[in-house]
Amino acid sequence: MKSAAVITLLVIVSGGFFAGPEASAEGLEALHVVDWHVHTAGLGYGGSGAFLNEEMRENFRFGFFLRWVGVTERELEVEGDQLVIRRLSENIARSRLVDQAVVLAMDGIVDRATGRLDEKRTQIYIPNDFVAREVAKYPNLLFGASINPNRPDAVARLEQAAAQGAVLVKWLPSIMEIDPADESFVPFYRKMAALGIPLLTHTGMEKSFAHARDELADPMKLLLPLEHGVTVIAAHMAATGRSEGQDNFERLLSILPAYPNFYADISSLTQINRLGYLVRALNIPWTIDHMIYGTDWPLQHFPVVSPWYHVRHIGLVNAWRISGIRNVWDRDVALKRALGVPDEVFTRTVGILVNRVPKTPN
């Protein structure tokens, strides 16, 4: 009965003015929710073609990453990297609120002189073919391709990814060494626009890797694809970091309203290193029209994310309730709803996916 007493106490202490916004998820359960930002992992088992370079394997983040994905290296050795995607599908299926997830491939650094993948310097590589083939087995997973536009056959690879069902192209410019403002990518951008394939690209500082070239994650660099009609989704809303002496988040907000084809995903905005940004963005009403829902799974576990970091905004009662939700996706939705994210953000689709998700309640 001790815990009941604690709950009662919390309810009394937090009272009305400490409780955050009402966060019942009833309405959302009947709607179709897509998580636009989900990672996978691979070590090359089962013929996946995925790899991590020496530097990443030796990095402390590697152990955490596998644990959060919910697999051991031994399991991958026996069952292949395919296991990660199967478990992912099973976990999404257990979510009450999230119906589908876009699983992201990860291209590497491409040497512009030779046109080849630089395997030594590429920290993580997850090939398109592997992700396309595996997600096709599960109706609740969608294919997020990754193509470094420095590849000489980038446009052909884009066409192939589209034929394999890609719903977007994902870049991590600071890790893949891509400068989105490079004029030589214009043919690639034109093809993306023609195919209706959005560009989901990391903005803001990157902390999940051994090292990163953060100057390439400046949101201002996205003006070029935007001008060429690409639907661009700035991952993490450029939260954290500065470019040219200015806050990346401020830089993003300064250009966001000017482009109807410009969006920002709210993945990872509940992480300890990005506290406060989501609430700030929600206080500017028009930003809501540009928000896309995503989690950045598996970076969803304590100590990276916890509802207790947000007590100031959601209140003790919500923090207590949300910390008790077992499914990672349901917990993420509940936390973001409590922070004030409206339903229209969770159900928003853009690009080629608009015509592929059910319009009627499922």
Binding mask 245-284 for Zn ion (x = CB under 5 A): ----------------------------------------
Segment interacting with Zn ion (CB under 5 A) among 69-77, 289-297, 301-309, 343-351: 289-297
Cβ proximity to Zn ion: between 35 and 296 the closer is 296
Residue whose CB is less far from Zn ion, 91 or 300: 300
Nearest to Zn ion of 171, 185 (CB atom): 171
Cis-peptide, bond into residue 260, ω within 30° of zero: no
How far apart are CB 64 and Zn ion at their closest, in Å? 15
For Zn ion, which stretch binds (CB under 5 A), given 66-74, 140-148, 185-193, 288-296?
Answer: 288-296
* Residue 178 backbone dihedrals phi, psi, to 5 degrees: -120, 130
Judge whether 164 and 128 are in contact, CB under 8 Å.
yes
For residue 199, the minimal CB distance to Zn ion (Å) is: 14
Hey, which residues between 183 and 202 contact Zn ion (CB under 5 A)? none
Scanning 23-31, 66-74, 293-301, 349-357 for contacts with Zn ion by CB under 5 A, the matching segment is 293-301
CA 158 centroid distance within chain = 20
d(CA 159, CA 143): 14
Torsion sign, CA atoms 211, 69, 79, 132? negative
The CB-of-103 to Zn ion minimum distance in angstroms stands at 12
Per rule CB under 5 A, count of chain residues that contact Zn ion: 1
The CA-based angle 217-221-223, given to 5 degrees, is 140
CB of 259 vs Zn ion, minimal distance in Å: 22
What is the rounded distance in angstroms from the CA atom of residue 62 to the CA atom of residue 51?
Answer: 12
CB of 106 to Zn ion, least distance (A): 9
Q: Which lies closer to Zn ion via its Cβ, residue 193 or residue 200?
A: 200
CB of 17 to Zn ion, least distance (A): 36
Choose the binding region for Zn ion from 78-86, 145-153, 273-281, 294-302 (rule: CB under 5 A).
294-302
Q: How many Å apart are CA 345 and CA 348, to the nearest integer?
A: 5
Shortest CB 297 distance to Zn ion, Å? 9
List, in sequence order, the alpha helices (H) in the chain.
2-18, 26-29, 54-58, 61-69, 73-79, 82-93, 128-135, 154-163, 173-176, 186-195, 223-227, 248-255, 277-282, 311-323, 328-338, 343-346
Q: Measured at CB, which residue is nearest to Zn ion?
A: 296
- Taking the C-alpha atoms of residue 17 and residue 294, their distance in angstroms, rounded to an integer, is 29
Rank residues 214 and 296 by Cβ distance to Zn ion and give the closer one: 296
17 CB contacts (<8 Å, ≥6 apart)? Answer: none
Residue 301: CB minimum distance to Zn ion, A: 14
Q: Which of 296, 317, 331, 345 binds Zn ion (CB under 5 A)?
A: 296
Residue 218 or 296: which CB sits closer to Zn ion? Answer: 296
* Phi and psi torsions of 291, nearest 5°: -90, 140
Binding region for Zn ion (CB under 5 A) out of 149-157, 185-193, 291-299, 326-334? 291-299
Q: Identify the burial level of 272 via C-beta atoms within 10 angstroms of its C-beta, where 0-12 means exposed, 13-18 middle and 19 or more buried.
A: exposed
Span near Zn ion by CB under 5 A; candidates 68-76, 162-170, 182-190, 296-304: 296-304
Nearer CB in complex with Zn ion: 175/319: 175
- What is the per-residue burial (b if ≥16 Cβ within 10 Å, else e) of 176-202? bbbbbeeeebeebbebbbebbbbbbbb
Residue 295: CB minimum distance to Zn ion, A: 9
The distance of closest approach from Cβ of residue 39 to Zn ion in the complex, given in angstroms and rounded to an integer, is 6
Return the closest-CA partner of residue 350 out of 192, 146, 187, 183: 192
| Total number of residues shown for the chain | 362
Closest to Zn ion by CB, 14 or 248: 248
Judged by the rule CB under 5 A, the positions of this chain that interact with Zn ion are 296
